[in-house]
Amino acid sequence: MTSVSKWVAGARPRTLAAAIAPVMVATAFAGSQWSPWRALLALIVSLALQIGVNYANDYSDGIRGTDDSRIGPMRLTASGLAKPGAVKAAAALSFLIAACAGLALASLTTWWLILIGALAINAAWGYTGGNSPYGYKGLGEVAVFLFFGVVATVGSYFAQTEKINLQIFIISIPMGALACAILAINNLRDRAQDEIVGKKTLAVRLGDKGARRLYIALLLSAHLFALFTFEPGALLTLLAAPLTWNLARGVKDGVQGADLIPYLAKTGKLQLAFALLFALGLVI
């Protein structure tokens, strides 16, 4: 594996849909008020935070030994492909990029965005980092829903329109649900190993059957809350229902371990497809 390719793999491209989707949908809802530069800055913030949390997770789990017997994709720290300090520096650089883009957005809108950005970076690091990581307590999905659902969607909309309304909060729910689904399928795949090493993710706390039900519920709730926006164009999201059905059926039927690896990529593809359809529906 080349030097560049290992860092690309370490950034976990399959998870980046969670960063792109909320900005795309929020920009579509902004309509004629959308701003190309502000949308771009919001996208940079979202992507940099997602990449940063991926590197931070790699570093923190790696030095704790949590990733030593990981079923999923390669981890830089645990595999020895990169030194822990280098992975930590990559996380810090990603957070710095997010902070700079966020500072630019704050200068164009409100300085309160700096506080929100600081909370987002703190949450990104605290997922598996620090003395008491909340990801080890089953709270990862809550943070993902808030920051990659509500904050990312509402924040991207506000950055372009400088307005907030109830509708954008409702629109943020499907984005949060699908971002959570990406984490849920990841944690379902790793549930058995996480339980052994004492990482009490929500999947560990719920058990195998409960974790599967959670994943399916998140997929279905995305479709349901898209319709609750009462935007006629939101019906377009139903075109993604066949992919949702295939994912839900496979998980319900008991796909296990390494066989769940493709489901992570497919869940990311579902979120992008859903977001594209949702965005198109909001525009028309």
C-alpha to C-alpha distance for 264 and 186, rounded to whole angstroms: 6
User: Tell me, what's the pLDDT at 153?
Assistant: 97
Q: Can you read off the two tokens belonging to residue 173? A: 């729910």
pLDDT, one tens digit per residue, over 130-179 is 888 898 899 999 999 999 999 999 999 999 999 999 999 999 999 999 99
Exposure string of 37-65, with b = 16+ CB inside 10 Å and e = fewer, is: ebbebbbbbbbbbbbbbbbbbbbbbbbbe
Residue type, 24: M
Q: Is the dihedral of CA 148, 20, 234, 105 positive or negative?
A: positive
Q: DSSP H helical segments within 127-240, as ranges?
A: 140-145, 152-161, 166-189, 191-197, 202-227
Q: Which residue spans within the chain are E strands per DSSP?
A: none
C-alpha separations of 188 from 57, 178, 268 in Å: 17, 15, 15
In angstroms, rounded to a whole number, what is the distance separating the alpha carbons of residues 7 and 270? 25
Mean pLDDT taken over the chain: 92
Residue with tokens 């980092």: 129
173 CA to centre of own chain = 13
| DSSP state for residue 271 in the 8-state scheme | H
Burial group, residue 241, by CB count within 10 angstroms (0-12, 13-18, 19+): middle
List domains and CATH numbers for the chain.
3-283 (1.10.600)
29 near 159, Cβ under 8 Å?
no
* pTM for the structure as a whole: 0.93
Q: Tell me: the pLDDT tens digits for 195-253? A: 888 889 999 999 999 999 999 999 999 999 999 988 899 999 999 999 999 999 999 99
Residue 70 — very low, low, confident or very high, per pLDDT cuts 50/70/90? low
pLDDT-derived band at 1 (thresholds 50, 70, 90) equals low
117-134 tens-digit pLDDT: 999 999 999 998 888 889
The answer to whether residues 87 and 76 touch, using CB atoms and an 8 Å cutoff, is: yes
Over residues 8-58, the pLDDT tens digits come to 988 888 889 889 999 999 999 999 999 999 999 999 999 999 999 999 999
Provide the 8-state DSSP code for 147: I
Amino acid in position 15 = T
The answer on pLDDT for 114 being more than 90 is yes
Q: Which tokens in the block code for residue 241?
A: 């229902």
φ, ψ at 39 (rounded to 5°): -65, -40
8 A C-beta contact, residue 188 and residue 224: no
Name the residue with tokens 């883009």.
101
Could you tell me the two tokens for 133? Answer: 């990581």
How far apart CA 240 and CA 31 sit, in angstroms, is: 23
